[in-house]
Amino acid sequence: MDWWPLGNFWAHFAVFALAIIVFVLLMVMVFIWFERRAFGPFQMRWGPNRASPWGALQPVADAIKVLLKEDIVPAVADKWVHFIAPVVGFLPVLLIFAVVPFHDGHGLIPDMSIGILYVVAISALSVVGVFMAGWSSGNKYSLLGGMRVIAQMVSYEVPLVLSIISVVLVAGSLSMNEIVAAQEIPFFVLMPLGFLIFLIAAMAEINRGPFDLLEADSEIVAGFHIEYSGMKFAMFYLAEYGHALAMSAVAATLFFGGWRGPGDEYIGFLWFLLKVFFIFFLLIWARVTFPRLRVDHLMGFGWKFLFPLALMNVFVVAAEMIVWGEIDGGMPWWIVFINLPAALVLIYLWSRLFRFGGGRVGVNA
């Protein structure tokens, strides 16, 4: 890659760090707009359409509004923790993008040898910021929201990682760029069950859709950010959508073949963006369809349904790799015809065995 002018490490670092920050901030705005515009037709309405054509400047107007608002800190709050929590919540989200390959080998460090492990490690950190916010606000509801997010994160991290393991088994590498390079056939075709588990666990991980228990407007008002206003609140909002963007990007990389796609090799970035939007649309679709889960159902679903299914998925993929796989070539394409029925059968069988509320004591004496 001699034509690439950023051979110098520090120049490369500076340019891509700036590019990633701009990319995240811009895409968060686009995502907020996209989500609200997509929610409209789902609910037979229009969504924002006043600020400029198609309401495209609505997130800008919202951002200006929220930045100009008064910053209120509760009297009983732990001031420093309250102040630092939004930053702790947002920073890991930004750090995830360091290893995301936006184009063939282009990114901050897309060839990091432990890329996906780094993503898993970093993305779980943002929960610390959320819990700090919940604890430092000095509010019962926010503390409840903080406790919930910890429980949720711990439960859903396990199936998330297990579904990633199946990808790593087939790709034979932890590096994000090499995982993309290994996807002659996108992995969501090869491993439909793995993709489904990843998507559900990612939804829980980024606290969206039916898993937004930490906010739960109808139960604990706004959860962890109940005592936040102005710029700090905007920071949490940014972190929330940034995390959704990060998870969409990771899912696009792991299961949809990232920058790979038909056409000229220089439009790889556009393919990546398209796939990110597609996955985000799936998240919106799930969010608009399903009602919020109850707390015990959330834990039950995570540990009794997703976790065993993820284990079985890893087992199936590992067995297939031993029998038919090649270390460099990955799996043959006809594995699809085994994996898709296997996924359906496993989901069906496990839904027979899976029960909520085990160990509940009856009260009808």
Phi and psi for 326 in degrees, rounded to 5?
-120, 150
Which segment (40-48, 142-150, 263-271, 310-318) binds other proteins by CB under 8 A?
Answer: 40-48
351 is a site residue for other proteins (CB under 8 A): yes
Rounded Cα–Cα distance for residues 190 and 342 (Å): 11
52 touching other proteins, by CB under 8 A: no
Cα separation, 125 vs 150, in Å, equals: 11
Interface with other proteins, residue 8, by CB under 8 A: no
User: Minimum Å distance from CB 330 to other proteins?
Assistant: 29
Q: How far is the CB of 126 from other proteins (least distance, A)?
A: 27
Nearest residue (CB) to other proteins, 41 versus 329: 41
The nearer residue to other proteins, 232 or 287, going by C-beta atoms, is 287
Q: Which residues contact 155 (CB under 8 A, 6 or more apart)?
A: 204, 298, 299, 302, 303, 307
Note whether 356 binds other proteins by CB under 8 A. no
Residue 356 φ/ψ region, left for φ over 0, alpha for ψ in the -120 to 50 degree band, beta for the rest: beta
The span from the CA of 290 to the CA of 278, in Å, is: 19
Q: State the Cα–Cα distance between residues 194 and 186, nearest whole angstrom.
A: 12
Q: Which of 3, 9, 10, 348 binds other proteins (CB under 8 A)?
A: 348
- Tell whether residue 91 is a contact of other proteins (CB under 8 A): no
Which parts of the chain fold into alpha helices (H)?
Answer: 9-42, 58-67, 79-96, 115-123, 126-136, 140-171, 176-181, 187-190, 192-205, 217-220, 230-255, 268-289, 295-300, 307-324, 336-353
Least distance to other proteins, CB of residue 305, Å: 10
Residues 302-341 that bind other proteins (CB under 8 A): none
Nearer to other proteins, 355 or 360 (CB): 355
What is the chain's Cα-based Rg?
21
Two tokens, residue 310: 């993820």
d(CA 290, CA 44): 17
- Binding status of residue 353 toward other proteins by CB under 8 A: no
> Taking contact as CB under 8 A, which single stretch among the options 34-42, 85-93, 230-238, 357-365 is the one that binds other proteins?
34-42
Residue closer to other proteins (CB basis): 61 or 267: 61
Q: Which of 45, 68, 322, 361 touches other proteins (CB under 8 A)? A: 45
Q: Which residues contact 48 (CB under 8 A, 6 or more apart)?
A: 33, 36, 37, 55, 58
Q: Which is nearer to other proteins, 8 or 351 (CB)?
A: 351
Work out how close the CB of 351 gets to other proteins at its nearest, in angstroms, rounded to a whole number: 4
**Bridge partner residues of 106 (DSSP):** 103
User: What is the total count of residues that contact other proteins (CB under 8 A)?
Assistant: 17
Q: Does 41 bind other proteins (CB under 8 A)?
A: yes
**Number of neighbouring beta carbons within 10 Å of residue 282:** 14
Footprint of other proteins on 256-285 (CB under 8 A): 285
- If one asks whether residue 288 binds other proteins (CB under 8 A), the answer comes out as yes
Q: Are 232 and 130 in contact (CB under 8 A)?
A: no
Q: Given the complex with other proteins, which of 260 and 287 has the nearer CB atom?
A: 287
**Minimum CB distance to other proteins, residue 290 (Å):** 7
- Amino acid occupying residue 99: V
Identify which range of 171-179, 235-243, 311-319, 343-351 contacts other proteins by CB under 8 A.
343-351
Residues that bind other proteins in the complex, under the rule CB under 8 A: 40-46, 49, 285-286, 288-290, 347-348, 351-352
